[in-house]
Amino acid sequence: MKKNKKNVHKVSLFTNLSYVLKQIATELYKTAKFAGLGLFKVFDFIMTNLITIVTYIFYAIYYISMYVGKFTYTLGKFMYYKVFKPIGFEVYYLFKAMYLGAYRVGKILFYEIPLFIFNSFSDFFDLIRKKLKLLKERLLYFFKHTPNTVKNYFLDRFNNISIVKHYRNKKERELEVLLIDKFGKDAERSSKKQTYKYLVKNEEGKLITGYFAALSRLDVHSYLLDEGYEVYEIKTNWWINFAHGESKYLEKQMKAKDLIFWLAQLSTYLKAGIPLTDSVKILAEQDKRKKYKKVYDSVIYELSMGEAFSDALRKQGSVFPPLLINMIKGAELIGDLENTLDDMSKYYEERESTRKQLIGSLVYPAVILVFSLVVVIFMVVYIIPQFEGIYSSLGAELNPIVLFLLKFSAFLKTNYMLLIAGFILVVVLLIFMYKKVKAFRTLVQYIAMHLPLVGKLIIYNEMHLFAKTFSVLNKNNVLLTDSIDILSKITSNEFYKMIMYDTISNLLRGDKISLSFKDNWAVPTLAYYMISTGEATGELSEMLEKVSVYYEQEQRNLGNSLKTLIEPILMIILAVIVGGIMISIIVPMYDITKNIL
């Protein structure tokens, strides 16, 4: 019984406990539910109002930005159209006016004025040139003949004195015809020519004294007898060789115009059937210039001694070009001396014409450049310093360009003698180095040949000279090695000399001539292919002639283009320089005017 009561008590206890726990859980659930709902309501309230606030803030910012943007746009538009644009246009038109003014001034100074002077006064300049030429001829005639006239006058007066006449006649009677030992000392030939002084009488009975270079007294005597003189005296010593030796005239080459005339005349005489020696004698009689008299006498002497004409010319040192000597040597072998001399006369005439044309294409730009530099120096030295006093008196603030120009002008005025001396010294030094130092000459030529347009002009000129000369040599059957050697001596360009040396080496190895021209920057590709084609087809001379004609025309066209192109480039550069100087002067004046206003 007691045990059952205990069990009932336990069951009721568990039942009450579960009920309590159930009630607690229910209350906790309700509490959590209402708490969650409350938090959700709070969160919903906060988010709803926050979104509303943010939305109102966004709309506020948007409308404020829109009104500010409209205001800024309106203000910017107003400033642009009413302030900045007018000022910008004014500045633009100011600089445009300055540029156009500087360009116009430069064009007038450096193009229109020289062109006007050149065109308007060309007749005047021609007249002045003719007057100067006539004056030069008169002065030359005066200085050449007046001393002789005065000398002859006093000599005639002196010779007409009875005592002098008696003494001279006595001396002439005592003169004896010179006897030469043809098998003794007089016939001994020296290793090189000696200069002999001779005393002879011509057909008119007049005594003549002169000098002649030969290997022996016998040669001089034979030459004078052939000329129709009566010989009285032939002698030599160290002073005669020093004062009248032939080494002085052998160092200078005959001028191109004299050589052209000499070859043309000699060819004409030979075609007329006059013997070679007599033809040279006729030329010697026609040419009264002393500088060529010894050359003619020496050539006549060599011909009378049995020398070939080419050898006679070769013994005159540097007077005759190696090309001419080799061409004459080839003509002697085939018996066509007259036509060869005529062809060489035309060759040198064409070469001289090309040289003058090349120089002429650069003369006008050079004159403009020099004239422009003189104008710029005049502005810097004399015009700009005039404004220094104005600027200093008005207290103007000078820009760096004006300060530099003023200092540069003062430097030029103070040290102009030193600058001129230094410039002359540098020019002389550069010329000396170019002539004497091969490495420097090669460097200068390399730079010049890589300049735009100028480099092509040099290459075209060298190719024309090479092709023309090689064609002439090849037509006259001169050996290839001799031809290339002559070409290496004709050109003064070190790069083409090296090409010629390589060509000789290739010929000695049995290779083609054109191999040296392949892939060489100094030889145009077209020239290489044309020469290679001519060499392969056996028509090298004809192809070389075509190369010469083509590059002569290219050189002429490029020279004209260069002349046309240089003029506007110089105009623009000098207009910029002059315009810059003018602007640098105007700006301080503008500031002064602005401050005053």
* pLDDT tens-place string over residues 162-207: 776 767 677 766 676 777 766 667 666 666 677 778 788 877 777 7
Higher-pLDDT residue of 372 and 526 is 526
Q: What is the pLDDT of residues 390-406, one digit of tens each?
A: 767 666 666 777 777 77
**Spatial CA neighbour of 301 closest among 214, 225, 235, 221:** 214
The reported pTM is 0.55
Please give the structure tokens belonging to residue 443.
């460097």
Residue 231 bridge partners (DSSP):
200
376-379-383 Cα angle (round to 5): 180
376 versus 239: which is more confidently predicted? 376
pLDDT-derived band of residue 160, with 50, 70 and 90 as boundaries?
Answer: confident
Q: What is the pLDDT of residues 193-249, one digit of tens each?
A: 777 787 888 777 777 777 777 777 777 777 777 777 877 778 777 667 666 665 555
3-state secondary structure of 414: helix
pLDDT in tens, 343-369: 888 888 887 887 777 676 666 667 777
Q: Helix H segments across 80-161?
A: 85-107, 113-120, 122-159
Q: What is the mean pLDDT of residues 136-144?
A: 66
- Residue 417 CA: distances (Å) to CA of 92, 423, 424: 43, 10, 11
pLDDT of residue 429: 92
Q: Say which residue, 59 or 442, is predicted with more confidence.
A: 442
Average pLDDT (410-421) is 83
291 and 144 Cβ atoms separated by less than 8 Å: no
Closest CA to 485 of 501, 467, 463: 501
* Residues β-bridged to residue 211: 197
Q: What is the pLDDT of residue 52?
A: 77
Q: Which residue's entry shows tokens 């302030």? A: 83
Q: Which of 480 and 36 is assigned the larger pLDDT?
A: 480
Could you read off the pLDDT of 315-351 as tens digits, one per residue? 777 788 877 887 787 777 777 788 888 888 888 888 7
Q: Could you read off the pLDDT of 92-112 as tens digits, one per residue?
A: 776 677 667 666 666 666 566
CA gap 366, 349 in Å, rounded = 25
Report the chain's terminal Cα–Cα distance, integer Å: 133
pLDDT in tens, 428-459: 999 898 888 888 888 988 898 888 888 888 88
pLDDT of 294 reads: 76
| Three-state helix/strand/coil letters over 313-346 | HHCCCCCCCHHHHHHHHHHHHHCCHHHHHHHHHH
Residue 155: other Cβ atoms inside 10 A: 12
Position 558 confidence tier, pLDDT thresholds 50, 70, 90: confident
DSSP 280-315: HHHHHHH---HHHHHHHHHHHHHHHTT--HHHHHHT
Does residue 136 surpass a pLDDT of 70?
Answer: no
**pLDDT score at 3:** 46
Q: Which secondary structure element, helix H or strand E, spans residue 196, and what is its range? A: strand 194-201
Q: In what order do the strands lie in the sheet with 207-214?
A: 207-214, 194-201, 230-235
The count of other CB atoms within 10 Å of the CB of residue 167 is 11
Share of the chain above pLDDT 70, in %: 75
DSSP-assigned letter for residue 212: E
Question: Residue range 285-312: average pLDDT?
Answer: 80
Q: Which two tokens stand for residue 572?
A: 């623009």
What pLDDT score was predicted for residue 2? 44
- What pLDDT does 425 receive? 92
443-578 folds as: Receptor-associated Protein (1.20.81)
Residue spans in the chain of domains classed CATH 1.20.81.30: 256-351, 443-578
Task: Report which of residues 427 and 9 the model is more confident about.
Answer: 427
Q: Which fold has domain 256-351?
A: Receptor-associated Protein (1.20.81)
pLDDT confidence of residue 151: 64
Q: Say which DSSP state 228 is in.
A: T
Pick the more confident residue, 35 or 5: 35
Burial of 388 (0-12, 13-18, 19+ CB in 10 A): middle
**Diameter over CA atoms, the chain:** 211
**pLDDT above 90: percentage of residues in the chain:** 1
